[in-house]
Structure 1
């Protein structure tokens, strides 16, 4: 199966370097996307540019790809399901949830000079980063790509109710499936509350399992594809 891998904020396609070969060994055709503004040198990219890049990858697939979104990019994966509900076979969301229509994509930290840089590890103390040692944190921070303000402040637009028919698998790293279900029941994740087919799976990692548990993550993506 074609599997499109979309990393979250500050990441480019290299974030999946250890996941891609593991998925290939399992018989898949993974494609790790480098998004506009996150690895192509652009600082003027917009959310629409990133959505277009994901849709171009979906359209380029000869079949019905599995679209994997990590963290904030869970929204990008869901926007792909909204725009191509008959083409996306399933959406996998790792450590995140889709934003609602009319809300900002990822306006989490203040931008500087038109971009939102990685804010440092104090913002991710606790379960998010507990499985990253100091050297891994140093490498991550030095490679982190500031995300254009046109992306982070872009407004999410969802239009096709058929997106709710697309199956979803939520891979839960720093939170448990039970907690995720509580959030949905409490109305904090409206898009998943309306989705008709949602499954949950746990992974023993922090927020970035593609770095700390790549083979286990690949196995869980493989199981989601099956």
Structure 2
């Protein structure tokens, strides 16, 4: 059995518990797992929070990101000598100088219509549209809970340009969510191909870590085995 340190990075409007369904499968596979708690105050702050966790790990580390978490791992893994693999789950994988928002614009994403601006530059998803846009394959009760516990996030997280991408130097895997209404599947496939990632797909909404936890965990384990 290949045992790896696995670091999981969540997306906007959420926290580390986004991986709560995935983690038991990773534990069953023998991996040591830490889910980062991002402040979601800026891309820079989120990268710093992730690097702090990476510095605690002995490695090799499989670093996985979901949604905006993909932008975070793309930047956090640069110069991280203990990261052996990057795994993107329905995630942004920006190139240098590209922002998450630009990717959404380039592929005609409409998720912005469901974003509610708050005070101080923070935002969230409209609870009435949360399931439709974010979690269409989850039971209504589950989606309502996730909508209720959203963590307000800074708009600048999406607007900040990415630095040199770690996927240029670290082997990458990508899982496309084929029923995603937030980050269009065509955008996901474009990014996966651009980075030369090993690519799989699941019939899932944007909330694949919740609805397809086993498949997500299996891909992370596959990356761990391939880079051991």
- Determine the structure 1 residue equivalent to 2:154: 148
Q: Could you say if the C-alpha distance between residues 120 and 105 of structure 1 is closer, same or farther in structure 2, counting changes exceeding 3 Å?
A: same
- Determine the structure 1 residue equivalent to 2:109: none
Partner secondary structure for residue 89 of structure 1: strand
- Determine the structure 1 residue equivalent to 2:106: none
**Could you list the runs of 5+ residues in structure 1 that have no partner in the other structure?**
38-44
The alignment of Structure 1 onto Structure 2 pairs a total of residues equal to 206
Question: In structure 2, how many angstroms separate the alpha carbons of the residues matched to 1:119 and 1:174?
Answer: 23
Question: In structure 2, how many angstroms separate the alpha carbons of the residues matched to 1:198 and 1:57?
Answer: 24
Question: In structure 1, how many angstroms separate the alpha carbons of the residues matched to 2:170 and 2:131?
Answer: 31
- Determine the structure 2 residue equivalent to 1:214: 213
Partner secondary structure for residue 97 of structure 2: coil
**Could you list the runs of 5+ residues in structure 2 that have no partner in the other structure?**
103-111
- Determine the structure 2 residue equivalent to 1:115: 122
Asked if residue 204 in structure 1 is aligned to residue 171 in structure 2, the reply is: no
Written as runs of structure 1 = structure 2, the 5 A alignment for 1:1-226 is: 1-37=4-40, 45-84=41-80, 86-106=81-101, 108=112, 109=115, 111-113=117-119, 114-120=121-127, 122=129, 125=132, 129-158=135-164, 163-174=167-178, 183-184=189-190, 189=191, 193=194, 195=195, 197-226=196-225
State the Cα distance separating 1:101 from its structure 2 match: 2.3
RMSD over aligned CA atoms reads: 2.7
Which 10-residue stretch deviates more, 208-217 or 10-19?
Answer: 208-217
Q: Judge conservation of contact 1:72–1:106 (CA < 8 Å) in 2.
A: no
Which 10-residue stretch deviates more, 88-97 or 211-220?
Answer: 211-220
Deviation per residue, 1:105-163 (Å, 9 max, x gap): 4485463212011234647737x5331121122111001111023433333222x7x74
Deviation per residue, 1:75-126 (Å, 9 max, x gap): 1111123342x33101000012312322334485463212011234647737
Question: In structure 2, how many angstroms separate the alpha carbons of the residues matched to 1:143 and 1:110?
Answer: 15
Normalised by the length of structure 2, the TM-score is: 0.78
Question: In structure 1, how many angstroms separate the alpha carbons of the residues matched to 2:187 and 2:94?
Answer: 16
State the Cα distance separating 1:203 from its structure 2 match: 2.1
Question: In structure 1, how many angstroms separate the alpha carbons of the residues matched to 2:91 and 2:188?
Answer: 14
